[in-house]
């Protein structure tokens, strides 16, 4: 190893090709020996469990001091004595474990503890800028009150202006800023209005009690409109100093009014808008809400105002919603008008180029339609593939080379993060292993992130490989982003249930990114994210015992049950994968309702799905199945079709529902 090189830096230079093959190869031989002793791992696991329980006397420090995971025990030792530890000790730990999430966790934990103890100089000494998390931010800006009052005021102001309660850690900061005149009665009123908008009634009452009697006219106006939003037109424009309270009250009232009765709210706004003195930000906020809810709720009487207002708001999301509505309604000239209103960057997106092509085609302008389709077809997504189908061309995968040299593979296996990850896996600490891996993937160079993704694939760590590509933004590394994870099981159960196995793989990739232990906030489990109730229902259909919830983390069982469930959805919708996929995400009851009022063409049906999550889900799963099938053919898309002729040309209406 060259002098003045840490082992980690040397490995990175080798991976990047900055050192000669000979230099790397010679040192590689010297570094090849590893202990990997099972007994050492068991001792380490016992020590880690003891450290978590603060049973430090049970730890044989000599037995673990050379173990690659010794830092985890040291982390718990230092964490347990942070009350008396110095900033230098904390910084020393952070430096020594700078390539591990241990450093991040230690800094955050110490910031919180030092803040609780009022050790603000030490807190600043271990910080490297604004921390994450509200509690740590409150302590951080409290620490800056004397050292940098301007930054403290700026940070405290941002923490104050939220519509929810803040933790007790903010009390000193807010109290000091109030005494200094940084936070005024106007700020209390502004936060009271934000709390009203957020439905935080207790916070509204608390803040109202903090206002002096001079604010009684403003409070009385709030109480009048609180239960009668139409009274917004009667709000005096002179509430508070310089009328500032009026603007906040008007904005908050329209927030509630627009959601309660969008048509009446717009009528009131059109009367008031020319006469009220509001900041540009508040005016745009009111008009954005009115435009959004007018379009989402299809308020016909508001459409003229919406079309007049959208160019002035110049909000891409609102314009895209206007295009979606026009597509759903089949108003093709309107589609063209609003696509051309998008910014040049947004307009080039395959999604909108596809609809521009469809609109041009419907209007008889085939030449310009073909141009738009050609732009869209370059993309590797649902609308890109749909555009390629329109052109009769094979799909463009835009796949990057994912070849990693043997030397890179060997060097990667010796990286400290790899050693720690493997050791954590061996002792059953998969969560910590993933933290190590993802921290490295997000932090390291492009070359090293590629090597990590390759290593994860070769180890069968499919979920970690996928997340590595996300953290490193390796969007074109398709073999790593879409690995052949559990391929045999998908083929087996796809064949058994007569379900497209690539559709199953697309669903699993979207649902869990191939993490067999994934669990959603609502309790969906495993590769295909089955709810226990759904799994029990499917098990009854199959004539097998209802599985324990823990059994749903077994890939084989999860795929068996998930493939049977999607097969039942395919039966329900006459084999149509678009409708079945939508039902897998949103439930068949909703899809049945959508089909009864949806546009009849496949692309317009997908665009008309009212739930954005389901709309994106369907597009992703069907695009993913194309990628999986193409990768199975070594990246060749010739003969690969996203949809069958029946799915492309059939009608999307109630006749698609075979059974209820």
400-415 pLDDT, tens digit each? 999 999 999 999 999 9
Neighbours of 43 (CB within 10 A): 17
Is residue 446 exposed (0-12), middle (13-18) or buried (19+ Cβ within 10 Å)? exposed
Q: What is the mean pLDDT of residues 351-379?
A: 98
**Residue 170: partners with Cβ closer than 8 Å, 6 or more residues away:** 134, 138, 156, 159
Report whether CATH 1.10.530.10 matches the domain 487-656: yes
pLDDT on residue 62: 94
Q: What is the mean pLDDT of residues 141-159?
A: 98
- Judged against a pLDDT cut of 50, whether residue 35 lies above it is answered with no
Top-ranked range on mean pLDDT: pick from 373-377, 519-523, 539-543: 373-377
**Residue 233: partners with Cβ closer than 8 Å, 6 or more residues away:** 268, 271, 272
Q: What is the mean pLDDT of residues 570-595?
A: 97
Alpha helix ranges (H) inside 148-243: 149-160, 171-179, 185-197, 201-210, 216-226
The full DSSP string for 393-453 is: ------PPP----HHHHHHHHTSHHHHHHHHHHHTT-HHHHHHHHHHHHHHS-HHHHHHHH
CA angle 549, 554, 555 (to 5 degrees): 130
Q: What is the mean pLDDT of residues 549-571?
A: 96
pLDDT on residue 442: 86
Taking the CA atoms of residue 594, residue 596, residue 599 and residue 605 in that order, the dihedral angle to the nearest 10 degrees is 30
State the Cα–Cα distance between residues 85 and 80, nearest whole angstrom: 9
Structure-block tokens of residue 558: 């999860």
**Residue 579: partners with Cβ closer than 8 Å, 6 or more residues away:** 569, 572, 573, 591, 595, 652, 656
Q: Among 120, 124, 203, 112, which Cα is nearest to 165's?
A: 203
CA angle 565, 567, 571 (to 5 degrees): 120
Quickly state the pLDDT bin for 446 (edges 50, 70, 90): confident
Whether 511 is catalytic is yes
State the Cα–Cα distance between residues 205 and 140, nearest whole angstrom: 28
Structure-block tokens of residue 519: 């669990």
Q: Say whether 89 sits in a helix, a strand or coil.
A: helix
* Portion of the chain with pLDDT greater than 70, in percent: 94
Quickly state the pLDDT bin for 277 (edges 50, 70, 90): confident
DSSP3 helix / strand / coil % (the chain, rounded to 5):
70, 0, 30
Q: What is the mean pLDDT of residues 20-45?
A: 53
Q: Say whether 530 sits in a helix, a strand or coil.
A: strand
End-to-end CA distance of the chain: 70
- Can you count the helices (H) and strands (E) in the chain? 39, 0
Phi, psi at residue 474, to the nearest 5°?
Answer: -90, 65
Q: State pTM to two decimals.
A: 0.89
The full DSSP string for 429-440 is: -HHHHHHHHHHH
* Greatest distance between any 2 Cα atoms in the chain: 83
User: In the block, which residue shows the tokens 């000669």?
Assistant: 20
Is residue 146 exposed (0-12), middle (13-18) or buried (19+ Cβ within 10 Å)? exposed
CATH number for region 406-475: 1.10.1240.20
Structure-block tokens of residue 481: 């982003």
The active-site residue, picked from 74, 422, 511, 601, is 511
Q: Residues for the chain: how many in total?
A: 660
State the Cα–Cα distance between residues 387 and 373, nearest whole angstrom: 5
Structure-block tokens of residue 13: 């230079």
Quickly state the pLDDT bin for 242 (edges 50, 70, 90): confident
State the Cα–Cα distance between residues 166 and 171, nearest whole angstrom: 9
């Amino acid at each position: 190893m060259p002098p003045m090189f840490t082992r980690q830096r040397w490995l990175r230079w080798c991976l990047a090709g900055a050192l000669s093959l000979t230099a790397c190869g010679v040192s590689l031989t010297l570094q090849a020996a590893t202990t990997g002793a099972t007994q050492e791992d068991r001792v380490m696991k016992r020590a880690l469990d003891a450290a978590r329980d603060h049973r430090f006397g049970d730890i044989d420090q000599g037995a673990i001091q050379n173990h690659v995971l010794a830092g985890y025990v040291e982390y718990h030792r230092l964490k347990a004595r942070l009350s008396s530890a110095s900033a230098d000790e904390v910084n020393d730990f952070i430096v020594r474990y700078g390539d591990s999430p241990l450093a991040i966790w230690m800094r955050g934990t110490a910031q919180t503890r030092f803040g609780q103890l009022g050790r603000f100089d030490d807190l600043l000494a271990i910080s490297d800028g604004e921390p994450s998390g509200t509690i740590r931010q409150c302590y951080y800006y409290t620490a800056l009150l004397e050292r940098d009052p301007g930054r403290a005021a700026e940070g405290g102001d941002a923490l104050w202006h939220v519509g929810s309660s803040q933790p007790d850690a903010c009390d000193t900061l807010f109290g000091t800023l109030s005494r200094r005149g940084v936070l005024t009665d106007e700020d209390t009123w502004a936060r009271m209005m934000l709390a009203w908008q957020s439905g935080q009634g207790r916070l509204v009452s608390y803040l109202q009690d903090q206002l002096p009697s001079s604010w009684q006219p403003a409070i009385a106006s709030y109480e009048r409109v609180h239960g009668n939003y139409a009274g917004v037109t009667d709000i005096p424009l002179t509430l508070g100093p310089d009328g500032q309270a009026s603007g906040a009250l008007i904005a908050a009232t329209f927030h509630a009014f627009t959601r309660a009765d969008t048509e009446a709210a717009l009528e009131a706004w059109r009367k008031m808008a020319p006469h009220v003195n509001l900041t540009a930000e508040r005016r745009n906020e009111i008009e954005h809400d009115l435009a959004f809810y007018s379009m989402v709720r299809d308020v016909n009487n508001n459409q003229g105002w919406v079309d007049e207002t959208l160019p002035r708001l110049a909000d891409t999301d609102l314009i895209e919603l206007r295009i979606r509505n026009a597509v759903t309604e089949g108003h093709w000239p309107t589609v063209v008008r609003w696509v051309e209103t998008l910014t040049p960057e947004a307009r080039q997106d395959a999604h909108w180029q596809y609809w521009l092509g469809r609109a041009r085609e419907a209007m008889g302008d085939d030449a310009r339609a073909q141009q738009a389709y050609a732009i869209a077809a370059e993309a590797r997504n649902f609308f890109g593939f749909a555009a390629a189908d329109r052109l009769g061309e094979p799909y463009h995968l835009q796949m990057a080379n994912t070849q990693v040299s043997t030397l890179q593979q060997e060097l990667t296996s010796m990286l400290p993060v790899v050693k720690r990850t493997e050791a954590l896996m061996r002792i059953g600490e998969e969560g910590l292993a993933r933290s190590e891996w993802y921290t490295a993937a997000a932090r390291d160079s492009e070359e090293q992130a590629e090597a990590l993704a390759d290593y994860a694939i070769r180890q069968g760590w499919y979920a970690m490989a996928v997340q590595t590509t996300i953290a490193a933004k390796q969007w074109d590394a398709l073999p790593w982003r879409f690995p052949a994870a559990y391929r045999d099981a998908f083929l087996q159960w796809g064949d058994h249930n007569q379900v497209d196995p690539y559709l199953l793989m697309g669903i699993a990739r979207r649902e869990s990114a191939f993490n067999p232990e994934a669990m959603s906030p609502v309790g969906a489990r495993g590769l295909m994210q089955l709810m226990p109730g759904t799994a029990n229902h499917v098990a009854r259909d199959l004539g097998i015992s209802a599985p324990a919830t823990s059994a749903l983390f077994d890939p084989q069982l999860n795929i068996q049950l998930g493939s049977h469930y999607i097969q039942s959805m395919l039966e329900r919708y006459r084999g149509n994968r678009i409708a079945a996929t939508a039902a897998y995400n949103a439930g068949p009851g909703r899809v049945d309702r959508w089909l009864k009022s949806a546009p009849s063409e496949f692309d317009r049906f997908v665009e008309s799905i009212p739930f954005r999550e389901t709309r994106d889900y369907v597009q992703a799963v069907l695009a993913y199945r194309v990628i999986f099938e193409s990768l199975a053919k070594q990246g060749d898309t010739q003969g690969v079709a996203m949809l069958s002729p029946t799915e492309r040309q059939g009608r999307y209406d109630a006749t698609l529902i075979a059974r209820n």
